Structure 1
């Protein structure tokens, strides 16, 4: 099932939940004989729902970020607020005199509930995609996915080395660190845009990249050499590598290797001479 379909189902469930809560509140308000008591109890119920969801999700939020409690609060507001809004509408409908007033109150109640429901649904789904990213980070990869990323990641790095080597031959130096993934002299030499993305953290088309360029050697002159392989200590000098920095154009001094390693406990490092090494970070 696609993410879009899942979000659609969740949105439908939220809509149903809020509408049902409002309907329950309406029934309570319509049958009430004590307006103040009904409003007080409805408000207390709504507050209890919000607090229960907030407190119940705090342990998860401590591990995976405040977005968890944010979503819980929105959901609690939808359910608790739906009951309160429904109770108000029920009380107003009960006290309306005359058929026309009752019909008018009913229409206003429906509009208010629909607007409130749409707002809650929008607020919840707006950040739900962030939760999807969190899940992708914390969920263990399947054996097939992990194997595929382990096999294709070195290929991506080798493609980047070819582009860097051609660039160095054209410009007699390595490219500057700033904006290296946007450097058209590099981009034009990389076979596929997906090669800029580590397959363990990206689908190849999103804004997650996962590779960093060693800024300590950025811009280094090729001198009299005709290939990066001929540079001093090329076999031991990192060029591009797996990085915890998932942003585009990431650079550092070879300090961001994921721990534990991203691919079955190891990280891949592309060296200046073009070979890809499997490194187990300490």
Structure 2
């Protein structure tokens, strides 16, 4: 078995962009050897949901589906998918792929990669950008790695977040009087396998008049040391209040259930 050159080109649909990968010269070989490296195309991560972003809870395993089309002049014998963390070189999520032959030289390969806070996501520092690598073995046992794809992300693996029910008091309220509106934001801690308060995160207090129509943002407030956000607003008309967290590079967005307030 000999290792092959990096794939010449790859198109990663799940990355929302075409990835140009520089070709390296293949090692010299005899006329009876297959010198052409495998090529990779039509990547799909997490079925392209949420722009290839995956939220992982504090203590639950999460399966991440990944697929690609692989071609080689001598056919595709096997393949393996890897996700590599952008912050450290020693954190890898890997799984062997099941390959389904399309033609004699092309196969569609798929795998389920397991993200587990108790095994390979044991630190919150692992949230964020991950890279995709594919290793293909052709019909002559030559190996090609799609190392060029490591220059771009497959997407994000983020900590799952949660919002409590929004609570507006007093209810009912007299028109023109103050309403106190509060909610709590928590997020998955992969380090402790529990949900913990998210401190200092900006929240949007939103209001919708009546029972239908669009919400409008009234204020932006940061959570306190216990993850709570509290503010006051003037009661003007019957309507619903909610808090919205737009998320960060490391945490998923979340929205609370609304609290409908009668104004007398």
Q: TM-score, normalised by structure 1?
A: 0.25
Structure showing the higher strand proportion among its residues: 2
Q: TM-score, normalised by structure 2?
A: 0.26
Q: Which has the larger radius of gyration?
A: 1
Structure showing the higher helix proportion among its residues: 1
